[in-house]
Amino acid sequence: MAIWLAGRRGASYCVKALISTTFRSSRSYTTAFASNGNSDSLFFCGNSSSAAVFGSQRFESTKARQQLDLLSSDDDEEQNQGVDFPGGRVAFTSEMSFLPESSEKRVQCYRVLDDNGYPLSSTQFKHVSKELAVKMYRGMVTLQTMDTTLYEAQRQGRLSFYVTSYGEEAINLASAAALGFDDLILPQYREAGVLLWRGFTLQEFVNQCLGNKNDYGKGRQMPIHYGSNKHNYFTVSSPIATQLPQAVGVAYSLKMDKKDACVVTYFGDGSTSEGDFHASLNFAAVMEVPVVFICRNNGWAISTPITEQFRSDGIVVKGQAYGIRSIRVDGNDALAIYNAVGVAREMAIKEQRPILIEALTYRVGHHSTSDDSTKYRPVDEIEHWKTARNPVSIFRKWVQRKGWWSDEEESEFRANVRKQVMDAIQVGEKIEKPPLADMFSDVYEEVPSNLMEQERLVRDTVKRHPQDYPTNIPL
Amino acid sequence: MWGIMKHKLGARGLSTPVFGDYMQRLRPIASAIRFRPYSSATKQMTVRDALNSALDEEMAADSDVFIMGEEVGEYQGAYKISKGLLDKYGPDRVVDTPITEAGFTGIGVGAAYHGLKPVIEFMTFNFAMQAIDHIINSAAKTNYMSAGKINVPIVFRGPNGPAAGVGAQHSQCYGAWYGSVPGLKVLVPYSSEDARGLLKAAIRDPDPVVFLENELLYGESFPVSAEALDSSFSLPIGKAKIEREGKDVTITAFSKMVGYALKAAEILEKDGINAEVINLRSIRPLDRATINASVRKTNRLVTVEEGFSQHGVGAEVCATVVEDSFGYLDAPVERIAGADVPTPYAANLERLAFPQIEDVVRAAKRACFRSVPMAANA
């Protein structure tokens, strides 16, 4: 009796069951059947087919016993000398078993605090000082407030575009807190909090979003495409996952320089489908470079849920598949992130190897201001993650219980930050836009003659038709 | 020699930077004459050796330069361009990669972001399409999009265009594709001197450079001057070279087609047509000045390329001449390009799909109003 079990147990269990049932008793298939419990998709082959498949062994009892022995002692020294192939020696087996497409148990998730901000009893974590904890918490609140205010500004038509990081404040601030200032960051686009931690001011954020003269990007990029050399934060680039192989390249450069620093690159769950993701993980392992890959698995890539993005157990198993030490962390738990990133960074630098961190979280906000996520996911799901699983509230509970924060400080701080952001917007809007000359510079290191010519032509045209030229762009 | 030059420059009252440029270009000659007694015979060098020596010298001069690509190390390079470099510089500077153009191009760009100077080799530019996002979006545009904060001193090199009997996915010319992107510089060497000078210039350049070589030229030998053999030699980017002076018709070409154009010019000479052959050397920036000056002299233009004619390099050359020197044209511009088909494999079909010397000769004659049929096999 051949039983083909589709479902969680997978093929390896199936074949094992098949062999054991064939040799032990003709009726033990029922045992196998019952113990699985998953009766949804069972197909029964004809009575005699199993006999036909293993028929030749059925009547040779000595041989059968040997086969049984093999089953029970896979690592029997005599039987399993192993065999050489390119890549090394590998033990062989006479049992044909396929690795299951998914394991019975998902990779576990490291967390320090529970949903109410209480430390789990047996968790190992490094204690944080009051100063650090409060700084992290303030950063999370600042990020949240800045996001809210700038999102509203976009809705009012004052910004063309904005991306919020709601639900991922812990990932942003706690990971940044665990890094050194010399560590180079290659972000995707939902990591403004990392730049905030490093000292980018609210005014600097707003200037970039408004594209005014003080924007370090000279008004050339869409909003939220921040970049800052002095903060070691590479300019945000829109195409997905392109920062991953670049990060490996930067890490290679660091390795050649033998610096006591690593590269940290962030990306979402959707990015893991890009070819660049696979190339960079593979390469990083082969080249043995100090890079920490932090995946913000927030469940959604615009409207694509992770069930449609991949069929693996998240991203942590992919790291292992490429030969990279990996960990799964509760992304809404600031202390867990802080600890994991800190340890990962040390390993990356000391051992000159890549590390992968999968931070599980939820994208509470819409993908961007061009998106309305209520169109493709239930509102109560969003509400649940916004309230019961909010990383800012969870950390707040822990910090307040420690006596390091209070409700009064909370309302005062929030009001203060909101005012600062609004002031920054007002100030930013009054600043001129970048001058015309900035349109033609930086295409190459030196401005080539054809661009100088084009600039001259534009200026001539402006001189001849001044009424058609915008007033807020200096010449 | 020095005295004469100084006097001449002084008399024309040139500013210091230009003088400095002059001096820089003179230095190799001066040093050659002073320190190295050369025989009167010029040395012959294959394009392959020219590229190899250029890489070697630039890697020796600057420890930030490194090579990355498939088969560049242990295999000595798929076309042996990087022969001997792994032994000399070690695996940290000659990096063999897994098969992922997107991967190693992205990694190279990242390394360039942080100050290294990668030379990325593509086995052919046809495969570079798997990495073209990184070439365009990550390399070409980054200096501009980062407002000058992140520059990308990277070189992408490899064979471009058709070889012989390698089919459609190994034969496309990408000169026009990369030539249209602001932020890139695109170079197309022909001779060994071109190869040496332009590759050195490319590696030293702070901007991303696409360096389009030709597989069939690798084995060809060219005479190289003593100046070109000096390790400080380099050619300016954006300057075309007049390979053969003439007065009747201008033929522009790049890469392997320069050789065809020169042969065509010899045939034309017998028919009393004195052709001027311009080796473009640089597709972006295009040397509009040299092309236009030549057309203003000859009044006729033939462009030659192996790539497809629509949106091709020849189209751009024609447009620049129409824009700048329309009144000087005595005949319509003739455009010789590859047939508008994915390259066929069969040898007879492949021959028909690409310009041959006879096509260039016929085009020049048409431009000179000698009546010649259009079709190749008429």
Residues 304-343, chain A: which have Cβ within 8 Å of B?
none
> What pLDDT does residue A47 have?
43
B244, B298 contact by CB (below 8 A): no
Are B213 and B194 in contact, with CB atoms under 8 Å apart? no
Which tens digit of pLDDT belongs to each residue from A106-121? 999 999 999 999 999 8
Residue B376, pLDDT score: 58
Question: Would the pLDDT of A60 be above 90?
Answer: no
Cross-chain Cβ contact B107/A449 below 8 Å? no
Interface of A with B in 92-151 (CB under 8 A): none
Whole-number pLDDT of residue A52: 44
pLDDT digits (tens, 9 = 90+) for B241-270: 999 999 999 999 999 999 999 999 999 999
Would you place residue B326 in the very low, low, confident or very high pLDDT band (cuts 50, 70, 90)?
very high
Positions of E strands within A236-350? 263-268, 291-297, 300-301, 304-305, 325-330
Length of chain B as a residue count = 378
**Integer CA distances (angstroms), A409 to A143, A402, B228, in order:** 17, 14, 72
Number of alpha carbons in the 13 Å side-chain half-sphere of residue A463: 6
Cα gap A408→A421, rounded to integer Å: 20
Say if A28 is an interface residue toward chain B (CB within 8 Å): no
DSSP state of A9: T
Would the CB atoms of B147 and A280 count as touching at under 8 Å? no
* Alpha-carbon distances of B233 from A85, B78, B224, B240, B339, rounded to whole Å: 49, 26, 12, 17, 38
Q: What is the dihedral of CA A323, A324, A327, A332, to 10 degrees?
A: -130
Q: What does the pLDDT read at residue A79?
A: 53
Which pLDDT score is estimated for A126? Answer: 85
Give the Cα separation of B210 and B200 in Å (integer): 13
Higher pLDDT, A57 or A182: A182
Q: What is the DSSP string of B180-236?
A: T-TT-EEE---SHHHHHHHHHHHHH-SS-EEEEE-GGGTT-EEEE-HHHHSTT----
B105 Cβ under 8 Å from any chain A Cβ: yes
pLDDT exceeds cutoff 70 at A66: no
Query: Would you state the pLDDT for residue B339?
Result: 95
What amino acid occupies position B238? Answer: G
The chain-wide mean pLDDT, for chain B, equals: 90
Contact criterion met (CB < 8 Å) for B143 and A186: no
Angle at alpha carbon of residue A77, lines to A76 and A79, rounded to 5°: 70
String of DSSP letters for B135-161: IIIIIITHHHHTTTSS----EEEEE-S
ipTM above 0.85, yes or no: no
The span from the CA of B5 to the CA of B30, in Å, is: 12
CA distances from A100 to A15, A83, A94, A385 (A): 11, 23, 18, 32
Query: What are the pLDDT digits (tens) for B79-93?
Result: 999 999 999 999 999
pLDDT at A457: 94
Could you say which of B116, B146, B206 has the minimum Cβ distance to residue A217?
Answer: B146
State residue A20's pLDDT score. Answer: 41
> Is the CB of B147 less than 8 angstroms away from the CB of A287?
no
pLDDT for res A125:
84
For A32-41, A182-191, A411-420, B275-284, which range has the lowest pLDDT when averaged over its residues? A32-41
With residue B308 as reference, give the H or E element that holds it: strand B301-308
Shortest CA gap B225–chain A (Å): 30
pLDDT digit string (tens) for A358-390?
A: 999 999 999 999 999 999 999 999 999 999 999
Distance CA B19, CA A475 (A): 33
Is the confidence at residue B276, as pLDDT, over 80?
A: yes
Q: What is the mean pLDDT of residues A334-345?
A: 97
Cβ neighbors of A446 (< 8 A, separation 6 or more) are none
Which helix (H) or strand (E) segment holds residue A71: the answer is helix A61-72
Which of B107, B120, B210, B292 to substitute to test the interface with A, most A CBs within 10 Å?
Answer: B107
Strand-pairing partners, residue B187, are B211, B282
Higher per-residue confidence, B288 vs A42: B288
Edge-to-edge order in the sheet of strand B249-253: B241-244, B275-279, B249-253, B301-308, B334-338
A98: left (phi over 0), alpha (psi -120 to 50) or beta: beta
Nearest to B178 by CA among B190, B188, B166, B189: B188
Residue A461 belongs to what H/E stretch? Answer: helix A449-464
A252 touching chain B per CB within 8 A: yes
Instruction: State pLDDT tens for residues B110-148.
Output: 999 999 999 999 999 999 999 999 999 999 999 999 999
Closest CB to B107 among A235, A248, A450: A248
Reply yes or no on whether the pLDDT at B24 is more than 90.
no
B354, B355, B359, B363 alpha-carbon torsion, rounded to 10°: 120
DSSP conformation letters of A211-259: T-TT-TTTT-S-TT---BGGGTBPPP-SSTTTHHHHHHHHHHHHHHHT-
> What are the phi and psi torsion angles at A247 (to 5°)?
-60, -40
CA distances from B269 to B185, B260, B265, B272, B362 (A): 35, 14, 6, 5, 13
Measured between CA atoms, how close is A336 to chain B, in angstroms? 30
DSSP B84-131: THHHHH-TTTEEE--S-HHHHHHHHHHHHHTT-EEEEEPSSTTGGGGG
Q: Convert the pLDDT of each residue in B46-90 to its tens digit.
A: 999 999 999 999 999 999 999 999 999 999 999 999 999 999 999
- Chain B CB contacts of A444 under 8 Å are 143, 183, 185, 207
pLDDT computed for residue A19 by the predictor: 40
CA distance A401 to A133: 12
Q: What is the dihedral of CA B252, B258, B263, B266, to 10 degrees?
A: 40
Q: What is the mean pLDDT of chain A?
A: 86
- Note the pLDDT of residue A134: 98
Instruction: Report helix, strand or coil for A305.
Output: strand
Tokens of A321: 């598949």
Q: Which residues of B are catalytic?
A: 101, 170
Using CB atoms within 10 Å of the CB of residue A227, give its burial: 0 to 12 exposed, 13 to 18 middle, 19+ buried: buried
Tokens of A84: 């050489």
Q: Which two tokens stand for residue B66?
A: 């490194």
Task: Give the separation between CA B76 and CA A247, rounded to whole angstroms.
Answer: 27
Nearest CA to B51 out of B190, B239, B206 is that of B190
B306 and B256 Cβ atoms separated by less than 8 Å = yes
pTM for this entry: 0.80
Closest Cβ–Cβ partner in A239, A256, A279 for B116: A256
Enter the tokens of residue B353: 């799909």
Residues 6 or more apart in contact with residue A285 via CB below 8 angstroms: A322, A323, A324, A353, A354
- Place A76 in a pLDDT band, splitting at 50, 70 and 90: low
Q: Count A/B contacts: CB-CB distance under 8 Å.
A: 141
- In chain B, % of residues over pLDDT 90: 86
CA-nearest of B127, B318, B147, B72 to A219 is: B147
Distance between CA atoms of residues A110 and A340, nearest Å: 8
Q: Which residues of A touch B238 (CB under 8 A)?
A: 448
Q: How confident is the model at residue A29 (pLDDT cuts 50, 70, 90)?
A: very low
pLDDT at A39 over 50: no
Contact A282 B98 (CB under 8 A): yes
The pLDDT of residue B41: 58
Q: Which residue has the tokens 């086969």?
A: A67
